[in-house]
Structure 1
């Protein structure tokens, strides 16, 4: 029997590795021809796989490592040398991937046993039991819609993470969102990010990626490559986050600052999604730092104490949101992959590919993705997804862009976040669209002060594109959105506009889409 490890299942303590010392890894290259994946993403994945191979061999595992065009070609070669072998495979997180890989193995005379995916804190059974406890079924909670806050509290209770002995959340509150919406002062500068000098393996992989996929989108240089490719580097990144950036992570986690791509964010999502870190260990290290600093009583003002709002914010991202979207994705596929309840069909604005736009917020966010394969969660939701949403972009074209551009992106995570959350193409994740005018960007960033577009103007020359597009979005989708949860106030403003104002809004929105299409936004 042999353990088949995929490129996002690299944790050395994964359950299947505890029962067998024979391992198969297939580095498949052909998939990356399907879309122009960011060169740093491909370098990260292939380098992490090769480093995991070497680490397993050093630990005594017998690793068969095959470079092939496809999994099928790799399996052909494997079963030619090992006819009739039985493989154990952790069930991949992406929809139907496990069944497809099992078929590939069986078509070559082998056997494939799918076991639980070890890269998450919770299981499908955990989710089903929770849904049933709320009066739903495995097909959905309350008619196929899911709300994260209830799930998050349930997981906190079940795992006892950041909980007091009496069953209450540490500090007495379940979340501290109201303390996590600050913008840094003008004289603030972010702490340094961890730096990883690419070793020989990473440089070899990078050379291969640039040669093979030279026309792909995104910065192909290794200078400033910020992503761990080994277990040791991932642990270092976690320790550096806790020591250096965690104290200010909470208050500034929603902020956007011109010229700053990382701020105080953990930057751990690529390592967690590849399996270099397990989500539980990341959370436990952060919670332990809070308790060790003297914060076990919930106090966040003591000298040297790690603030509770920072710790809870990180915990919510990992055991709340990450686990939540994984299960919603499972339950909502394949329908989610085709959902488009607002019938949005516009192509992605040219600025998403070039970064060339006078909109400072959009230029900053796109440049972060192009340069690093990364933008933090508010840039993703409230700039990149929000603008595409009010612009009228096809949600699946936007999802494709996120998938190919972000180093931490896999289908299971981008689809619920982009199609459901960011594009409101289905309401399984949210009761309302995350659409906003320029007001949000102005409140949470310093972008608007130096932008040639005016965030206070809706129509006319120089008006921020967000504003006319926002009102046009509400008007175009009134039949679907009016009466949707928490949209009443917005539609009271819609009702207050006269025909003359609506005519000006439509003209401005049409002009912006023309600018977006021809790359002159």
Structure 2
């Protein structure tokens, strides 16, 4: 008999080994996973509650489920093979680097065998990626267009729907002052969530708020979350996807990444639901649907393959030689008076979530220009977000956020306060002035930005995408302003490091 070993991020019954109606299923709830780093408690509650709910559903359908609660995977396998000696296990390939080999060693050292099959939580294969892109530097746009052609999603014959491949220029609006995004659905969890929360509260060192949990933990709940997004938030997702509002932590974002990344939803079904809404309903604009499709079909798949191709070196990449640790504000929203950062860190603390612009243009942008190591930032993201897994966080943070590698990013995503002021409502009530570069009330983003450009001038000036910004840096140098700007940047870093920014 072959037993399907279901890992905590492979909970799909729609495809993969679980779709074949197995006679036996193994799940191992290993507490050591929770102790590897200071995870957000809602991340732990999500994974372990979802595993227990799947166990109950399978048993209700007559499946023989072996559910081991133990300290480590090794202990769980010891208990399993004591009862089922010599069994073959089948598992979907874990996306984390080296995980399949580690699992195989654990199984074979206990007298069993492990068959690793394709991970069906992704739509594209390594062979497709290599055929489309070859060797680095990898271009997301090339990949995205290839996947669109391969799948036929949002295609009109050989051409993209509407005549354009993406509609970024229509997806950069800020909501009106009286805008209120639709309310989110609430879910019922039963005793499993409460039991997991009690264990986490008493036995695990975490960072973040355990309460306020509102993430789908079953297939039915994930389907309801998808329905709610498509019905209520998809139309405005596009134009407002880059906006930042102090009093609206989710705006019109889908909030489906946590369900996607543990297998409660499949990437093709969410893409197809969005496209169906565009084709069947009035008031669902193409630029909203294409923006969503690009996130799931394009960027999510692209990140998985970049990670696969660039590990293990990707995890330690640090091409700019950044040396600082993260400042205290990343753990304490009250450690800074910068309204934008305090708000974003607060969102992560409260819910284990911040949307992609907060992640890139606030949380990563500050760490980049501050000079934090990509590894320190990566560790913070990995522990703090409910949807975070090594395969998706590492390329996003080390490559995109911290510019630790140029394997797929052609320039650093550094910016001054101008971007934040344009896309958010944070600056109006902030202690710091977004229009000032020097002085105690000048927004820290401004001096850090210009100092960052000056610090890495030898490496970045020749970048063809940065010629204009370096001409502006030359203007500041010629005007005699750069020395004062860099002095202000040093003062900003000192204040941030002491928790007094």
TM-score normalised by the shorter chain: which range applies?
Answer: over 0.9
Task: Identify which range, 38-47 or 483-492, moves more after superposition.
Answer: 483-492
Aligned counterpart in structure 1 of residue 150 of structure 2, from 151, 155, 158 = 158
Query: How much has 1:418 moved relative to structure 2?
Result: 0.2
Residue in structure 2 matched with residue 393 of structure 1 by the alignment: 372
Q: In 2, Cα distance between the equivalents of 1:2 and 1:216? A: 33
- For residues 275-295 of structure 1, give each alpha carbon's deviation from its aligned partner in whole angstroms, at most 9, with x where no partner exists: 0000111111111111111xx
Aligned-pair CA distance for 1:16: 1.3
Deviations 1:251-304 (A, max 9, x none): 0000001111010000000000010000111111111111111xxxxxxxxxx3
Q: Secondary structure at the match of 2:25?
A: strand
Matched, 1:367 2:369: no
Q: Secondary structure at the match of 1:496?
A: helix
User: 1:111-122 to 2 correspondence within 5 Å?
Assistant: 111-122=113-124
2:277: which partner in 1? 289
Within 5 Å, give how 1:363-512 maps onto structure 2.
363-498=342-477, 500-512=480-492
Q: Distance in 1 between matches of 2:23 and 2:92?
A: 15
Equivalent in the alignment of 1:83: 85
Query: What is the CA–CA distance in structure 1 between the aligned matches of 2:464 and 2:88, rounded to whole Å?
Result: 51
The one of 319, 327, 335 equivalent to 2:297 is: 319
Q: Are residues 1:216 and 2:218 paired?
A: no
Distance 1:35 1:178 in 2: 39
Residue 59 of structure 1 and its aligned partner are, at CA, apart by 2.5
The residue that corresponds to 2:75 in the other structure is 73
Task: State the partner residue of 1:200.
Answer: 191
* Alpha-carbon distance, 1:60 to partner: 2.5
Counterparts of 2:19 and 2:233, CA distance in 1? 34
Counting only pairs closer than 5 Å after superposition, residues 83-162 of structure 1 correspond to structure 2 as 83-131=85-133, 136=134, 140=135, 144-162=136-154
Q: Cα offset for 1:14?
A: 2.5
**Structure 2: gaps spanning 5 or more residues:** none
Supply the distance in 2 between the matched residues of 1:508 and 1:18 (Cα, whole angstroms): 59
1:42-61 counterparts in 2 under 5 A? 42-61=44-63
Q: Root-mean-square deviation (CA), in Å?
A: 1.0
Deviation at 1:484, TM superposition (A): 1.7
Question: Does structure 1 residue 270 correspond to structure 2 residue 272?
Answer: no
Aligned to 1:351: 329
Give yes or no for contact 1:468–1:505 (8 Å, CA) kept in 2: yes
Residue by residue over 1:59-96, the C-alpha shift from the partner in whole angstroms, topping out at 9 and shown as x without a partner, is 23211111111111111111111111101111100101
Q: 1:245, 1:210 → 2: CA distance? A: 34
Shift of residue 192, structure 1, vs aligned partner: 0.5
For 1:175-219, what per-residue CA distance to the aligned partner results, in whole angstroms no more than 9, with x for missing partners? 110000000011111110121133211111111111111x41100
The separation in 2 between residues aligned to 1:260 and 1:177, in whole angstroms, is 22
Contact 1:27/1:66 (CA < 8 Å) preserved in 2? yes
Q: Secondary structure at the match of 1:497?
A: helix
1:300-328 Cα deviation digits (max 9, x unpaired): xxxx3311111001000000000000000
Contact 1:258 1:364 in 2 (8 A): yes
What residue ranges of structure 1 are gaps of 5+ in the alignment? 294-303
